[in-house]
RNA sequence: GCUGAUGUGGCUCAGGGGUAGAGCACUUCCUUGGUAAGGAAGAGGUCGGCAGUUCGAUUCUGCUCAUCAGCUCCA
């Protein structure tokens, strides 16, 4: 007999080799029906798992995130099984559960079409109806390889060969289908109640672009039909607020064939951009930053000195001027450093905080371009802080507070990730350790939880990344703080210390928006185009009821413009209902309706985009309200 | 860059080997209507670009460019 400690602390004696399913069943009949697996000493296992030692067991249920993951994992096997049934000879690669679904990679000469997806989905539903039980079995390495070779699964053979010596090689079998898999799974294909295949796309074998491109089928599945419907609904909602769609509809920006990845900002998009930049400037002045502007084209020797030529050249645009090589800047730091070098600095001057809204160009792969989120030229709201070693922590914490303040203005939640030294990097181990420790210390002192991304840092230093969460729960990397001991050495920049000797300052690179272009893209989706009053390209639209009010409308417009309110007049001879509809669709925060009544009493009938009719108020009252809303940046 | 799909008036899309069509938007006229679509007429496109097949191509083929989905990469 062995002892099982359950999550609530109770203990239970069971026979050695008892399955998790049996234990769940013994605890309660009802639990066995909703259980899909367990967590033994923190490791996830399925119901088929046999318990052989004293362990702590936590029964996982369908409603748990883990439960959903098991279900998606099994679904990927069902997908593979369906494909094997319909397209024999297809070779299987890998098929994991992912955040909202699963995928499976296939190698076949047949090109999967949309119709194929429908057929495959139908076959999957059949497999679900068959309620095939999943059986787990283990094989020795040689047996495993032999089995997979027999089935012609070359990719699986490769996977097995790469498994570590002591790995347990397990398989799962459902009906006629057997797949190499570590598990865990749900006990039967019948547990999957709702299945949907979403798309097919190419993916490299093992994620390496040197390898063969396989075909990847994406799908999702749920234990309840309702959950699937909700998920599909959420996808629809996300589509509706896609910044590329809204950017076109609201006339904010565009991308032209003549400049792939180089966005055009329209007058209305420019208003948003300018408001963001104004806000950015105000806040930086308050925090002791100085603003600079450096050129976008600089000569090759600068980029050699900075290390970009060696580490970043594939992404740089180069040109020749008077027979000399030049490059368009992909980053702003070298320019800032030249600015620092223009004169001698005393230790008393530090920290020096230099901000720049810097336009950079990067040659991104054509397939990576995506609206405003991924472009080839963008403006970084960059700043470089030059400081003494003992100022590092305070400066980093200052930036963290700054970022926090900034994101709250827009109602964003965020989380933080710390990236460490990449393979292609400069500097010594000691410097990297010092830099990483400085970032970690600041985070710990602020008591902020963070995730570590090994090897994901910049080539000159580690970084803290801020990942925004929008209202649909999607995340976007925006702000980053990067610590740099390299550039000051490479450029030999110095300050004079209290001892009268030269010393190397330490440098922070940081952005808050990340790129203004991307940030605007995120804002469009976050607000679904309904910008708060302070950002709205048009804050109010005057809607005259008849042509008799046109002249008054123009006077009113001029009055509001002189008060700094962004305003339009709809002068068309249309009915008021129609004008309201259009104003609402263009997401203007306020509609100001004027008819004979309002004209006589010098009032306006205000209709809010979000709250509907607000009734008639004095023009001066409206002006005050809008001004206040804009100043407070109310959401 | 790779794999697949797409590319028709400002926008959303239909069509199809014999030199193009709808709705919305736009212009003009009628209507002057009080909180999400009043009516009529008009203007607007070398069907992404370049070649090829054909008596004839926007439609078929090839190449190319751009976009979309994903991979890779990233602010």
For residues A399-425, average pLDDT: 91
Is pLDDT above 80 for A63?
Answer: no
We report the CATH number of the domain holding residue A373 as 3.30.930.10
Q: What is the largest CA-CA distance in chain A?
A: 94
Considering the domain architecture, whether residues A274 and A387 belong to the same structural domain is answered as yes
| Whether A510 is catalytic | no
Q: Choose among A462, A465, A467: nearest CA to A506.
A: A462
pLDDT at A89: 84
Contacts 24+ apart (CB under 8 A), A112-118: A112/A200, A112/A215, A112/A217, A116/A86, A116/A200, A117/A197, A117/A199, A117/A200, A117/A217, A118/A197
Give a yes or no: residue A311 inside a domain. no
Considering the domain architecture, whether residues A381 and A468 belong to the same structural domain is answered as yes
Q: Is the CB of A365 under 7 A from strand B?
A: yes
The residue assigned the tokens 């460490």 is A420
Give a yes or no: residue A317 inside a domain. no
Instruction: Out of A500, A526, A552, pick the residue that ends a domain.
Output: A526
pLDDT at A153: 86
pTM (predicted TM-score): 0.88
Cα dihedral sign, A346-A347-A348-A349 = positive
pLDDT at A209: 75
Q: Which of A206-220, A221-235, A438-452, A566-580 has the highest mean pLDDT?
A: A566-580
Closest residue (CA to C1') to nucleotide B12 in the complex: A249
Instruction: Out of A237, A264, A279, pick the residue that ends a domain.
Output: A237
| Whether A490 is catalytic | no
Considering the domain architecture, whether residues A510 and A547 belong to the same structural domain is answered as no
Give a yes or no: residue A126 inside a domain. yes
Give a yes or no: residue A321 inside a domain. no
pLDDT at A10: 80
Choose between A440 and A12: higher pLDDT.
A440
Q: Residues A338-390: pLDDT tens digits?
A: 999 999 999 999 999 999 999 999 999 999 999 999 999 999 999 999 999 88
Question: Which DSSP string do the residues of A53-99 spell out, in sequence order?
Answer: S-EEEEEEETTSHHHHHHHHHHHHHHHHHHHHHHSTTPEE----EET
Catalytic residue among A81, A174, A215, A380: A380
pLDDT at A57: 80
Q: Is the CB of A213 under 7 A from strand B?
A: yes
pLDDT at A162: 83
DSSP helix/strand/coil, A373: coil
Task: Categorize the per-residue pLDDT at A529 as very low, low, confident or very high, splitting at 50, 70 and 90.
Answer: very high
Q: Please state, for a pLDDT cut of 90, what percent of chain A lies above it.
A: 52
Task: Identify whether the C-beta of residue A399 lies closer than 8 Å to the C-beta of residue A507.
Answer: no
- pLDDT averaged over chain A? 89
Give a yes or no: residue A572 inside a domain. yes
Give a yes or no: residue A485 inside a domain. yes
pLDDT at A210: 78
Considering the domain architecture, whether residues A456 and A577 belong to the same structural domain is answered as no
| Whether A376 is catalytic | no
Considering the domain architecture, whether residues A444 and A389 belong to the same structural domain is answered as yes
| Whether A370 is catalytic | no
ipTM of the assembly? Answer: 0.93
Considering the domain architecture, whether residues A456 and A394 belong to the same structural domain is answered as yes
CA A365 to C1' B24 (Å) is: 36
Considering the domain architecture, whether residues A259 and A224 belong to the same structural domain is answered as no
We report the CATH number of the domain holding residue A554 as 3.40.50.800
Q: Is the CB of A98 under 7 A from strand B?
A: no
Is pLDDT above 80 for A7?
Answer: no
Is pLDDT above 80 for A225?
Answer: yes
Considering the domain architecture, whether residues A404 and A426 belong to the same structural domain is answered as yes
Considering the domain architecture, whether residues A291 and A365 belong to the same structural domain is answered as yes
We report the CATH number of the domain holding residue A232 as 3.30.980.10
pLDDT at A358: 95
DSSP helix/strand/coil, A6: strand
Considering the domain architecture, whether residues A218 and A262 belong to the same structural domain is answered as no
Q: Is the CB of A480 under 7 A from strand B?
A: yes
Give a yes or no: residue A585 inside a domain. yes
Q: Residues A65-123: pLDDT tens digits?
A: 777 888 888 899 999 999 988 888 888 898 888 888 899 999 887 778 777 888 888 88
We report the CATH number of the domain holding residue A34 as 3.10.20.30
CA dist A469 and A414 (Å) reads: 5
Q: Is the CB of A201 under 7 A from strand B?
A: yes
CA A274 to C1' B29 (Å) is: 42
Residues sharing a CB contact under 8 Å with residue A108, sequence separation 6 or more, in sequence order: A87, A89, A90, A91, A215
Considering the domain architecture, whether residues A262 and A371 belong to the same structural domain is answered as yes
Q: Please state, for a pLDDT cut of 70, what percent of chain A lies above it.
A: 99
pLDDT at A134: 85
Q: How many domains does chain A have?
A: 4
Question: Which DSSP string do the residues of A237-272 spell out, in sequence order?
Answer: HHHHT-HHHHHHHTT-EE--TTSTT-PEEPHHHHHH
Which residue range is the domain that position A393 belongs to? 253-296+332-526
The pair of structure tokens assigned to A440 is 């970690």
Considering the domain architecture, whether residues A508 and A573 belong to the same structural domain is answered as no
Instruction: Out of A18, A37, A61, pick the residue that ends a domain.
Output: A61
Give a yes or no: residue A302 inside a domain. no
Is pLDDT above 90 for A460?
Answer: no
Q: Is the CB of A576 under 7 A from strand B?
A: yes
Task: Categorize the per-residue pLDDT at A496 as very low, low, confident or very high, splitting at 50, 70 and 90.
Answer: very high
Is pLDDT above 90 for A626?
Answer: yes
Task: Categorize the per-residue pLDDT at A135 as very low, low, confident or very high, splitting at 50, 70 and 90.
Answer: confident
């Amino acid at each position: 007999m062995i002892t099982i400690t359950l999550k609530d602390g109770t203990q239970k004696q069971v026979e050695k080799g008892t399955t998790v399913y049996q234990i769940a069943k013994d605890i309660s009949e009802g639990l066995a029906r909703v259980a899909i697996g367990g967590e033994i000493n923190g490791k996830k296992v399925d119901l088929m798992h046999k318990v052989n030692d004293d362990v702590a067991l936590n029964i996982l249920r369908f409603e748990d995130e883990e439960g959903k993951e098991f279900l998606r994992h099994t679904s990927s096997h069902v997908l593979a099984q369906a494909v094997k049934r319909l397209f024999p000879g297809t070779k299987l690669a890998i098929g994991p559960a992912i955040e909202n679904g699963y995928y499976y990679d296939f190698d076949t000469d047949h090109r999967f079409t949309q119709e194929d997806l429908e057929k495959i989905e139908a076959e999957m539903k059949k497999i679900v109806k068959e309620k095939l039980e999943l059986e787990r079995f283990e094989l020795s390495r040689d047996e495993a390889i032999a089995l997979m070779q027999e089935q012609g699964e070359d990719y699986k053979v490769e996977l097995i060969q790469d498994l570590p010596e002591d790995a347990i090689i397990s398989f799962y079998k459902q009906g006629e289908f057997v797949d190499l898999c570590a598990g865990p799974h749900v006990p039967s294909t019948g547990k999957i109640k709702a299945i949907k295949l979403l798309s097919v796309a190419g993916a490299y074998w093992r994620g390496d672009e040197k390898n063969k491109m396989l075909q990847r089928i994406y799908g999702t599945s749920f234990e309840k039909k309702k959950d699937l419907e909700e998920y599909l609904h959420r996808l629809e909602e996300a589509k509706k607020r896609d910044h590329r769609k809204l950017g076109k509809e609201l006339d904010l920006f565009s991308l032209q064939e003549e400049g792939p990845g180089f966005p055009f900002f329209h007058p209305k998009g420019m208003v948003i951009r300018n408001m963001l930049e104004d806000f950015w400037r105000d806040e930086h002045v308050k925090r002791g930053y100085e603003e600079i502007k450096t050129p976008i084209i600089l000569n090759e020797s600068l980029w050699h000195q900075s290390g970009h030529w060696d580490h970043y050249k594939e992404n740089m645009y180069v040109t020749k001027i008077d027979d000399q090589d030049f490059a368009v800047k992909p980053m702003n730091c070298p320019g800032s450093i030249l600015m620092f070098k223009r004169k001698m600095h005393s230790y008393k001057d530090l920290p020096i905080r230099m901000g720049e809204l810097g336009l950079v160009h990067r040659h991104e792969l054509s397939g990576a371009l995506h609206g405003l989120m991924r472009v080839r030229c963008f403006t970084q709201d960059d700043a470089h802080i030059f400081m003494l070693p003992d100022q590092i922590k305070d400066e980093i914490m200052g930036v963290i507070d700054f970022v926090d303040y900034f994101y709250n203005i827009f109602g964003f939640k965020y989380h933080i990730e710390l990236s460490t030294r990449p393979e292609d990097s400069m500097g010594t181990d000691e410097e990297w350790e010092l830099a990483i420790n400085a970032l970690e210390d600041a985070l710990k002192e602020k008591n902020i939880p963070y995730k570590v991304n090994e090897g994901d840092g910049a080539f000159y230093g580690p970084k803290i990344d801020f990942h925004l969460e929008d209202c649909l729960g999607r995340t976007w990397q925006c702000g980053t703080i990067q610590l740099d001991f390299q550039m000051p050495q490479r450029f030999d920049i110095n300050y004079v210390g209290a001892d009268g000797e030269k010393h190397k300052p330490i440098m922070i690179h940081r952005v808050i928006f990340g790129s203004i272009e991307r940030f605007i893209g995120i804002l469009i989706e976050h607000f679904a185009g309904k910008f708060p009053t302070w950002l709205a390209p048009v804050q109010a639209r005057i809607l005259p009821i008849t042509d008799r009010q046109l002249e008054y409308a123009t006077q009113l417009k001029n009055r509001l413009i002189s008060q700094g309110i962004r305003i339009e007049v709809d002068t068309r001879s249309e009915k008021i209902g129609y004008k309201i509809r259009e104003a609402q669709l263009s997401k203007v925060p306020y509609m100001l309706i004027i008819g004979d009544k309002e004209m006589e009493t010098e009032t306006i009938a205000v209709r809010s985009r979000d709250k509907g009719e607000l009734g008639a108020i004095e023009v001066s009252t409206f002006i005050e309200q809008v001004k206040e809303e804009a100043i407070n940046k109310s959401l």
